[in-house]
Amino acid sequence: MAEQQPYDDIPGTQVFDAHRSREGYWLNMFCMSLMKDENRKAFKADEAKYLDQFPMSAVQRDAVLKRQWNRMLELGGNIYYTSKLGATDGLSFQNLAALMTGSTQEQYAAMMLAGGRSPQGNRSKSEWKDRG
Amino acid sequence: MAKLIAGVTTSHVPAIGAALDNGKSGEPYWQRVFGGYDFSKKWLAETKPDVVFLVYNDHASAFSLEIIPTFALGCAESFPIADEGWGPRPVPVVKGHPDLAWHIAQSTILDEFDMTIVNKMEVDHGLTVPLSLMVGQPKEWPFKVIPLCVNVIQYPPPTGHRCYMLGKAIRKAIDSFPQDLRVVIFGTGGMSHQLQGPRAGFINSVFDNSFLDRFVTDPQSLVKIQHLEYIREAGSEGIELVMWLIARGALDDEVRQVHRFYTVPASNTAVGHLILENTR
């Protein structure tokens, strides 16, 4: 179990520290492999078989197959790596952000155009209690 | 002798590169961003640097989790453009300046900064988007580039104080290089943004504008900002702002601000940009 850190209080945020980096090593290195076009094709052709090359945990593997973007981050994924899986699916950073925040693309783009997510109410987990 | 003329800071949002490469820069959404750099392009063309020392971060392109250097200095003759999953950006190959780069490596290491020397490195949007913003779409980049790649992905990145002090060591190295060269330093990344998780889209324009103010007149106060405050107040990816402090450390204590620009958003990110000239 990882030691409690001061940044754990920041809501909706997984800081990619030593603990998460170690847990997510193979999940992230799988994503890194998708930098090559031939690997993207092999993955798309048979996702489960392709994932066999990477000794990640069963829950990590399940999160990848189900494209659970927030779950991947909770399991040690890093956004700069998981975004490569997103790119393989044809998703941009903004597309992924909409999915991770539970918004439609239109809602998310409109929020950004209106100045983005405010710091007010988004600094501490104590402010997110109502969100469950 | 080599001379550091000025510093440029700017965000390096990948969508800016994509908009330019796909011919969308004239659309109103993107014109609002690119318009902030019209003056900058003219300024850089008139300033005519021989070398740009470019501080940026790699986004799991050249480096993966296999090797994570804190400060990686590009000493190669040239740096190819990385394929970030969509094919390499259609921009010229980046030419290095190995003589000055090696001189800076030696000087800063003897000044007790443990630099990683890199002779083979692809460069991604973190480096090429600032070049595109400041130059446009040339056939060749009009200057040599020395990339300094800083880890800001694996926590913890170097502290703001360490970055600022490294900037001072880089300046000392530039000042002691015997060849007459005009050098401009770029600090890139930021401003407030968060790309990950349920808090994605986080923007703090109050923090950003205070950072821009103090960056010019009171950088000492920025050097004290801790990682926790960056993540809380500027978003998990806003911590990239420590890279700006390398550029600020290299500049004179007193600088002349010749340009300032801020807009929200470019995709998920607040865009901030400064041009500061040394006065001595």
Q: Which domain holds residue A77?
A: 14-90
Contact (CB<8Å) B195/A79? yes
pTM: 0.97
- Name the percent of chain B lying above pLDDT 90: 98
Residue A13 CA neighbour count, 13 Å, CB half: 32
**Stretch B195-208: mean pLDDT:** 98
Is A13 in contact with B195 (Cβ distance < 8 A)?
no
Half-sphere exposure of A39 (CA within 13 A, CB side): 16
Q: Cβ separation of B65 and A29 shorter than 8 Å?
A: yes
A129 domain residue, yes or no? no
Mean pLDDT of B51-62: 97
- Let me know if residue A25 belongs to a domain: yes
pLDDT of residue A131: 76
Quick one: pLDDT at residue B104?
98
Dihedral sign for Cα B92, B118, B143, B29, please: positive
A125 to chain B, closest Cα gap in Å:
11
The domains located in chain B, with CATH, are 3-270 (3.40.830.10)
Which residue's structure tokens are 């694996």? B154
Is residue A52, in this structure, part of any structural domain at all? yes
Q: Is residue A66 part of a domain?
A: yes
Backbone phi and psi for residue A8, each to the nearest 5 degrees, phi listed first = -65, -15
Identify the closest residue of chain A to B156 by CA–CA distance: A17
Closest CA to A122 of B192, B242, B209: B192
Is any Cβ of chain B less than 8 angstroms from the Cβ of A113? yes
B271: which strand partners? B263
| Amino acid A58: pLDDT | 98
Model confidence pLDDT, tens digit, residues B139-193? 999 999 999 999 999 999 999 999 999 999 999 999 999 999 999 999 999 999 9
Write down the pLDDT at residue A80: 96
Predicted local confidence at residue B83, as pLDDT = 87
Closest to A12 (Cβ–Cβ): which among B197, B267, B268?
B197
Q: Does the structure show a pLDDT above 90 at B81?
A: yes
Confidence band of B52 (pLDDT split at 50, 70, 90): very high
Residue B47's pLDDT is 98
The active-site residue out of B125, B161, B227, B273 is B125
Whole-angstrom CA distances from B214 to A2, A93, B210, B211, B253 are 36, 30, 6, 5, 12
| Cβ within 8 Å of residue A78, ≥6 positions away | A16, A20, A21, A24, A28, B60, B153, B196
Mean pLDDT score across all residues of chain A: 95
Percentage of chain B exceeding pLDDT 70: 100
Instruction: Report whether pLDDT(A49) > 80.
Output: yes
Q: Is a pLDDT exceeding 70 seen at residue B85?
A: yes
Flag whether A31 is in a domain.
Answer: yes
**Which residues have a Cβ under 8 Å from the Cβ of B1 and sit 6 or more positions away?**
B175, B176, B177, B178, B179, B180
Which of B12, B97, B103, B193 is labelled catalytic? B193
Residue B273's pLDDT band (cuts 50, 70, 90): very high
Please answer whether residues A57 and A75 qualify as being in contact, where contact means their C-beta atoms are separated by less than 8 angstroms. Answer: yes
Residue A44 pLDDT > 80, yes or no?
A: yes
How far are the Cα atoms of A39, B27, B42 from residue B39, in angstroms, in the given order?
A: 43, 19, 5
Contact B101, B73 (CB under 8 A): yes
Residue B67 touches chain A, beta carbons under 8 Å = no
Q: Work out the pLDDT band at A1, boundaries 50, 70, 90.
A: low
Q: With contact defined as beta carbons under 8 Å apart, do B219 and B164 qualify?
A: yes
ipTM: 0.96
- What was the pLDDT predicted at B91? 97
What pLDDT is stored for residue B223 in this prediction? Answer: 98
Nearest residue, CB atoms, B86 vs list A80, A87, A96: A87
Mean pLDDT along residues B125-143: 97
pLDDT of B86? 76
Percent of chain A with pLDDT over 70: 98
Domain count, chain A: 1
In a domain, A48, yes or no: yes
Which whole-number Å values give the CA distances from A5 to A14, A19, A126, B228, in the listed order?
11, 11, 15, 10
- Find the mean pLDDT for residues B274-280: 94
Chain A residues with CB under 8 Å of B153 CB are: 16, 78, 80
For chain B, strand residue ranges (E) read 3-10, 51-56, 71-74, 78-79, 94-95, 116-118, 144-150, 182-188, 255-266, 269-278
- CATH assignment at residue A43: 1.10.700.10
Q: Which of B153, B154, B194 sits opposite A13 (nearest CB)?
A: B194
Inside any domain, residue A20? yes
CB contact, 8 Å: B22 with chain A? Answer: no
B228 has pLDDT over 70: yes
pLDDT grade, residue A132 (50/70/90)? low
* A14–B154 C-beta distance less than 8 A: no
Q: Could A87 and B267 be called an inter-chain contact, meaning their C-beta atoms sit closer than 8 Å?
A: no
| Mean of the per-residue pLDDT values of chain B | 97
pLDDT confidence tier of residue B87, bands split at 50, 70 and 90: confident
Interface-testing mutation among A7, A69, A73, A89, with chain B (most B C-beta atoms within 10 A):
A7
B227 is catalytic: no
- The per-residue pLDDT for A130 is 78
In a domain, A29, yes or no: yes
| Cβ contacts of A115 on chain B, cutoff 8 Å | 203, 205, 264-265
Active site includes B193? yes
Q: Do B270 and A100 touch (CB under 8 A)?
A: no
Question: For residue A111, is pLDDT > 70?
Answer: yes
Residue B228 burial by Cβ neighbours in a 10 Å radius (0-12, 13-18, 19+): middle
